[in-house]
Structure 1
């Protein structure tokens, strides 16, 4: 008989197309994950996953089982959500995915939330913009925190906080001593940039385009910590979320340049799939965000 646990494990393998990553996600051993998927295949009498070279692929039967598993597990989550509502927030689960630049802000807000609702089990996933949109499409979480909501995304959302984007440099950088930096001063300066597709990168490219500047990109990095370290090491200047560099700016390890046109004022948004009935735990966290806003 097919078990719910087998469906959960198969869904994790199918999403990651990796037994190892699925095992890490589920806190299981790789052999245990492989065994459960093999038993599921034997019970159903169909191969669900095939290996071509070093990569895994879903078979046609695997696609059918994944869609069904998703429906079954979503219904189970919905049932648990309704039962949690009946218990009045005594127990429950809240799953949140946030873009990497929001990981400095959301934990503080979660602290207040968890103290108020200690029975709620919170799962926080941090990723880049592309990873979050993939999770959104797969409906893996209750809430998603993004800088900008893509127009084509079928989502309900709320704006809850400002997210200013600033230009930062090492204290001994030539521009650090200028009281006012104009756009042309940035021409030819080495930049440390976020990866293409990130919200910060999109905002930065919009600024450069508007000012007619072609930036000199020395390197692209996908983590704000790595960018801060590179800037502090004198490898260039960068445009990042002020919140992500808060500690470095306060300690004087980085300085915020007074550049014309900055800060670029953006906002944090919390979103969820349009039409989705969010859990009572998610509604309570929304209230925490919007109350402070």
Structure 2
């Protein structure tokens, strides 16, 4: 039996996405090459690791067992590389970041200077919704995780690193656009467009309105901030979003921030990692940047 680390890496990626195509994209390989490596691994192990049911891929019982071992082996290899880098005083390796989609307006500006200062660090950035991030957290697939509110049930260490105010946005010609001192009950009389259930932004907005004893009509749920902003701009309703995610549209007048009593809702961005996880030098260096201890901060 001659199993290679590359085969384990490829199988782990296929198991992560349950898609040969998406795994190939993540690995910068062709889909046939990824498929061939998995089939070769199955042949060496003399067992089926992945089965197709309908249009979807599923891990077999053997596949789940191999995935657990693959993760352990590859984590040990990463740990060895990290320890060697520490011994040699080198700032190189890989930084795996997973961020909620609303943080994509904040994190790239911080990553740019960091990447330029540390060109030997490979950065893998994954953007997803809150549920996807928590699933990756549970599987320990990344070094650091960026999200709004850290669930109390999450076995994590975390730090707040930046403010993330939530605001009510509207089209420039909305009847409330020129008003000030708008009561929450007034905006609640208009249709709202919100993120999908489970979104941290949506949960914060719902808590605010519930505390005021009102419930705005949610006429549309969208899974992307870009779609929400466009729907608001065209007059389909109001929304609550992170001010940072709408900064460009607010500056150019494509959207307006309504001056609603109680807003902005003051929240923070948090960086989190599994409790007890030994962070790599690369992760510690970027953590210092986020917490304002590093030399290279976003402008």
Does the pair score TM above 0.5? yes
Q: Does the 8 Å CA contact 1:167/1:237 hold for their aligned counterparts?
A: yes
Residue in 2 that maps onto 1:149: 150
In structure 2, list runs of 5 or more residues that go unmatched.
none
The within-5 A match list for 1:223-242 is 223-242=224-243
> Any runs of at least 4 consecutive aligned residues in structure 1 with deviations exceeding 6 A, and if so which?
none
Residue in 2 that maps onto 1:108: 109
Q: Does the 8 Å CA contact 1:163/1:243 hold for their aligned counterparts?
A: yes
Q: How many residues align?
A: 293
Q: Does the 8 Å CA contact 1:14/1:66 hold for their aligned counterparts?
A: yes
Distance 1:53 1:115 in 2: 45
C-alpha distance after superposition, 1:113-159 (max 9, x if no partner): 12322221112111111111111111111100010001110101111
SS in 2 for 1:121: strand
Q: Does the 8 Å CA contact 2:169/2:258 hold for their aligned counterparts?
A: yes
Residue in 1 that maps onto 2:279: 278
TM-score by length of 1: 0.96
In structure 1, list runs of 5 or more residues that go unmatched.
none
SS in 1 for 2:291: helix
Residue in 1 that maps onto 2:205: 204
Residue in 2 that maps onto 1:22: 23
C-alpha distance after superposition, 1:170-213 (max 9, x if no partner): 11000112121101102330111111101100101101211121
Distance 2:53 2:171 in 1: 48
Distance 1:81 1:233 in 2: 50
Distance 1:82 1:31 in 2: 35
Distance 1:245 1:187 in 2: 21
